[in-house]
Structure 1
């Protein structure tokens, strides 16, 4: 029976450690989802703020923090919810402004 040499050790992580995912990025995504599903602007606006903060933190980390996609998704979902809220407010304003001017007449 022949003896095989042991496998080589795994490569060392660059510059002191493996990249970690940003907690802010995860929080932004969760807030963005909550903004769309149930909480509206109470979660959507913080999703935008936390997501942008996470993006800046990730960019400044030099590759040591990951999760830019999560942060971007949270920001996009936050802006979608803000857009939906503005559209809803516009529809309500139009109904109040022009709701009394249209009459259904029966002949």
Structure 2
């Protein structure tokens, strides 16, 4: 029995690769989310906004665009790093206010 030769593209088993193409920014969003979580929290809001936009595009495509899991990972990492950024900013503001009011000033205490 003669079988046709495998196509020059697709999977290594000779079948063409079908399925939706990943969103063009899926890997970028995931990398930004992870970097925002680990190194620079200022990248978190960027990953959050880009992730939300990409998720909306994936949902609106009706299955024509894939990569939802990569986008979701970057989106969640962006949310977490944004929350950590807000908490860090609030902590710094609190410390500055307490220092200005003299609560943390050690020279004003009398022993």
TM-score of Structure 1 vs Structure 2, range by shorter chain: 0.7 to 0.9
SS at match of 2:25: helix
Give structure 1 stretches of 5+ with no counterpart: none
Q: Which residue of 2 aligns with 1:59?
A: 59
Say if 2:36 is the partner of 1:35. yes
SS at match of 2:62: coil
> Does the aligned pair in 1 maintain the 2:27–2:71 contact within 8 Å?
yes
Between the two proteins, the alignment pairs up a number of residues equal to 99
* Structure-1-length-normalised TM-score: 0.72
Q: Which residue of 2 aligns with 1:94?
A: 94
> Does the aligned pair in 2 maintain the 1:25–1:55 contact within 8 Å?
no
Distance 2:67 2:33 in 1: 15
> Does the aligned pair in 1 maintain the 2:41–2:84 contact within 8 Å?
no
Displacement of 1:46: 1.8
SS at match of 1:23: coil
Runs of 4+ in structure 1 displaced over 2 angstroms? 5-13, 37-40, 102-107
Give structure 2 stretches of 5+ with no counterpart: 7-13
> Does the aligned pair in 2 maintain the 1:55–1:72 contact within 8 Å?
yes
Q: RMSD of the alignment, in Å? A: 2.6
* Structure-2-length-normalised TM-score: 0.70
